Structure formats: structure tokens, C-alpha cells
Amino acid sequence: MEQESRLTESRPAPPGTTRPGGRTAKVRRAVLDATLEALADTGFHALNMDRIAAAAGVGKTTVYRRWGSPVGLVTDLLHDMAEQSLPASDTGSLPGDLRANAELVRATLADPRMGAVFRAVIAAAACDEECARALAGFYRTRLDAWAPVVTRGAARGEVPAGTDPLELLRAVSAPLYYRFAVTHEELDGAVAERAVTAALAAARDGVFVRDGGRE
């Protein structure tokens, strides 16, 4: 999965405000990469600013000034992950696009490294409001990126006019996240396919049509 702020001499700049270039961009990239690796290895509660600085080859004062806390690191990483994520598919059909979306979510969560990262940021969001807002922002960015696939599908008559793209996309990914975060069950291709089939059936039945959306 993109945010960017300049280093300031006084207080940490809010993550995601500007797009740095040159050395600032390289420092940020190194720090966020080190943060991702640390989250995958040891989780959020063991995230240590000094160790992140050492792993990134960056001065501790730079890391503390720019990010301020482990929460700041996770927040900026989530912005970055949202912007680095793959673009939405355009397979020519809504079922194909939704399958691509479900497979992207499934493959990410099933990946040993990225799955560990997501477990860490979900844990961080559960105990910190700033992390929770950043995680919600990450998912809203991804939903907005994929919303056009539903709009195109509605235009082709594959789902009713007025179908809420975000609600349909949430219905596709929700069963995957439930198995990932709650029941810790295996995420295989059959799970993703069932999620798409169920979400499409509901959409075609008008479950996700906004009030006043039908013509």
C-alpha cells in the first residue's frame, strides 16, 4: 500500500500532508520499510523508535522529530500502503472485477509477511484512536479506488442502478477479514469465490441499492 510531509525543526508534521523529494523521500522510505519489517517481526507493541532509526540508517532525532511516536510511524505507513496498493482491475465484467478484488485481499492477508503486518496494525488500531483513524482511512482509500468497478457494472446492467459501490465491496471483503482477524481460519481461493458469489447475489437482489437509487 503515500503520504508525505517535510521535516520540520519544531514539531512532527502530520503524516500524509506533502510529497517529499530528494533525501527526505529516501529517509522516509527507509524508515517506513524498517517499520513494516518490525511490525511483521515483532508486532506493534514491540515497535521501538530507536531500533527503527538504527535499521533505517537514520538519526534518532530525525525519526522522533518527523514521526514522534510508534503511532506516528504506523499512521504514515498505512497512508503509504494505501497509495502503493495495486490499482483496481478492469476485466470487462463486474464478477471478474470483484473476483480480482477478493483475490487481492485474500493474497495479501494470506501472505506471511503482510498478514503479520495487518495483524499488527489492527492490534494498534484497537488500542489507539489515531491508528484507528489511519486504518479506516487506508480502507476508505482502497474502497474509493475500486468503486468505479461497481459503477461500470451498474451501467452494464449487471447490478441494479443505484447500487452503493462501497457497500458491495465491503460485502466482498468482510468474510475474508472475519476469517483472518476473528476465527483465524485458512484463506483459500474457495473462500474468496464464495464471498464474491454471496455479495453479487445480494447486490442483484437490490440489497445494496441506496434509498431512491432505483429508477
CB-CB contact of 146 with 168 (8 Å): no
Give the number of other CB atoms < 10 A from CB of residue 136. 12
CB-CB contact of 22 with 29 (8 Å): no
What pLDDT, on a 0 to 100 scale, did the predictor assign at position 87? 86
Q: What's the rounded Cα separation, in Å, for the pair 212 and 215?
A: 8
- pLDDT tens per residue across all 215 residues of the chain: 333 232 222 233 444 334 455 778 999 999 999 999 999 999 999 999 999 999 999 999 999 999 999 999 999 999 999 888 888 999 999 999 999 999 999 999 999 999 999 999 999 999 899 999 999 999 999 999 999 999 999 999 999 999 999 999 999 999 999 999 999 999 999 999 999 999 999 999 999 999 755 54
What pLDDT, on a 0 to 100 scale, did the predictor assign at position 82? 87
Q: What's the rounded Cα separation, in Å, for the pair 9 and 110?
A: 41
Which residue from 169, 168, 167, 188 is spatially nearest to 179, judged by alpha carbons? 188
